[in-house]
Amino acid sequence: DYCNSAYEEKDAGILMRKKYRVRIYNGSDKVIKLERKKKYGSWIYKEDAPLTRGEFEQILAGDYGFLLRSPYPLCREFYIECICNMMRPRTIVDYEREPWVMDEGTVRITFDMNVRAAVGSFDIFDVTLPALPVLEPGKLVMEVKFTEFCPQLVRDMVPPGAAELTAVSKYCLCYDKTAYLRGFNYWESDFGNRGDI
């Protein structure tokens, strides 16, 4: 939005926040979803609504009227956000994901590799867009999601001291990586307080 709330609230650790995104799979327009991810403390709630390729292109062009007539409440609420809060695309997050599922505790473990920020356009279907890697070589993002309980087997997968455990946002990583596209302030924030320049 105009205030860049999704980024600023994540960065500040605000416990109740939301963000919108458009998700596709494997560069295809067969499944396009408008998603809203809400976070309440440690609880995450996701909603989605289908979009067509044409509707996605209307959103990119700033033509939001069709959202108000959608049968999906999420689309109608997104219309209000677009009009009132001046919603615009911010970054493209791209990665390969390997999912693992356990029935016990409804556990889903995902490994996100080759996380990168696409630059040059907000057309998520343009396979020629250049992309910048956002993780150090050899690193990936492992996420553990569960609805009931986290089995001990999963807890034992990462022994204490064997790896760095941290909260990470692929969106924030990609937004930071493309900061140079929004002006030169990023030089100050990235390098101003470091003694190794």
Give the pLDDT of residue 160: 67
Give the pLDDT of residue 158: 66
* Beta strand residue intervals within 41-162, DSSP E: 43-51, 92-102, 107-118, 131-133, 141-146
- Mapped onto helix, strand or coil, the DSSP state of residue 70 is coil
> From CA 98, how far away is CA 86, in angstroms rounded?
35
Give the pLDDT of residue 50: 98
Give the pLDDT of residue 53: 97
Mean pLDDT by 10 residues, the chain (197 residues): 90 90 94 95 89 96 95 97 94 94 82 94 91 93 81 74 66 91 54 42
DSSP category for residue 90? -
